[in-house]
Amino acid sequence: MTSKASTIWGGRFEGGPSAVMEKINVSIGFDQRLYAQDIAQSKAHCAMLARQGIIAASDAQAILGGLDAILKEIESGRFEFKNAYEDIHMNVETRLSELIGDAAGRLHTARSRNDQVATDFKLWVRDAIDRLLGQIEAFRSVLLTRALEHAETVMPGFTHLQTAQPVTFGHHLMAYVEMLARDAGRFQDARKRLNECPLGSAALAGTSFALDRHFVAQQLGFDRPTANSLDAVSDRDFAIEFLAAGAILAVHMSRLAEELVLWTTPQFGFVRLSDAFSTGSSIMPQKRNPDAAELSRAKAGRVIGDLNALLIVMKGLPLAYSKDMQDDKEPVFEAADTLELVLAAMAGMMSDLTVNKERMKAAAGSGFSTATDLADWLVQKLNMPFRQAHHVTGRIVKLAEEKSCGLEELPLADLQAVEPGITGDVFGVLTVEKSVNSRTSFGGTAPANVRQAVETARRAK
């Protein structure tokens, strides 16, 4: 069964599309999210057409008034989006025609849905980047506050998930501050590259009308118009780059979420999430599940999947526009929604979690975590080559392991039995506090470094 030919493009067709064709072709169910951007670029295009004398000022005035009325209808929930009009562009244009009559038909002069949707989508992604940058900065602020609070809180640092060396919790959190700074930088770079206006490229070849594309670009906050009409309507690099930056951000959030999951277990007991970000069990009344962290960890898979989906959509498309590109928006919308939710959840969890300093300190001293400090002491005080110091320290660790005690608990005589040159001064470097305080190299974990890093990060906002 087919319907009547579309009033949008039906002049060439006698019959209409089948019901299945209508279902696969329609996009208004998701691209209605572009309504504000679509109306904004239509207003800029209309103003330019009138400015260039391509349409009459009276028609432009009617169009602009009609577009403002439609915007109010949508924002108030009174606008009826209809599948029959396929997408946001034609839903708006059809309603405009209902409101102002034939003048509405002049709006599409020197414009195609190809350059129209590319412009809408760029505007939407730009807005999404700005929202995410705000959330990233807010989350960084939470981490900076907690890092300063815990500049001296000792915890174990891990490699291979095995105790390696003592660090401070503040230093650990500052690692994520660095990641978020890079995330922000990637989004900022993506924003700079996308900020060229496709409008005026028309379907693919430009137009014979005397447009002022620079005026339109300026009106919409773009740096400049796009330089090539073919590229302008077929480019989705900006969406892919947005998703790539988003996928990396999601991975960073997943890594922190994984640490929260580990740290909240009874085996670690480093932190406790508040009731606001924990759930219980339907059968085990004792349980406190870190579901918000687990779900934040899982969301990385969705964002990575969104990136892969769009890469695969685009990988085989010849120039210029193909309808495949209608599937570009849903992955971007989903990723943006997901990232905003995860950032809010992670900021909430990190803002009000409780830190068990005693448990962290006890764990920091396990696993002979100050062994490297002992080796460094042998190098600094006995002028021993590091490889020899490493070997000597390894023998001392083995001895402590046999005696089931920490390095700082070994009698001096036992240490001297392995290396006669060792003196009692060595015990000054074998505590976790001495260890972290000694790590003063740039970027190290010493509390003074953490405080300076927090101050530097706050100045760099």
Whether residue 175 has a cis bond before it, omega within 30° of 0: no
Rounded to 5°, angle at Cα 254 from 306 and 359? 175
Catalytic residue (one of 281, 322, 366, 391): 281
426 closest CA partner among 367, 370, 377: 377
Q: Alpha-carbon distance 136 to 128, whole Å?
A: 12
Q: Whose CA is closest to 197, among 127, 129, 118, 130?
A: 118
Instruction: Let me know: does 361 contact 62? Beta carbons within 8 Å.
Output: no
Cα 317 from chain centre: 27
Q: Exposure of 130 by Cβ count < 10 A (0-12 exposed, 13-18 middle, 19+ buried)?
A: exposed
Assess contact for 205 and 115: CB atoms under 8 A. Answer: no
Known catalytic residue at 252:
no
In the chain, % helix, strand, coil (3-state, to 5) comes to 65, 5, 30
CA distance 251 to 300: 6
Task: Identify residue 293 by its one-letter amino acid code.
Answer: A
Cβ contacts of residue 352 below 8 Å, gap of 6+? Answer: 274, 276, 277
CA atoms within 13 A on the CB side of 292: 22
90, 116 Cβ separation under 8 angstroms:
no
Which SS3 state, helix, strand or coil, does residue 458 take?
helix
Q: Which of 160, 208, 282, 441 is catalytic?
A: 160
Element (H, E) at 168: strand 162-168
Q: Are 287 and 264 in contact (CB under 8 A)?
A: no
Residue 429 Cα distances to 155, 374, 435, 436, angstroms = 16, 7, 6, 10
Q: Is 89 a catalytic site residue?
A: no
Please give the positions annotated as active site.
160, 281
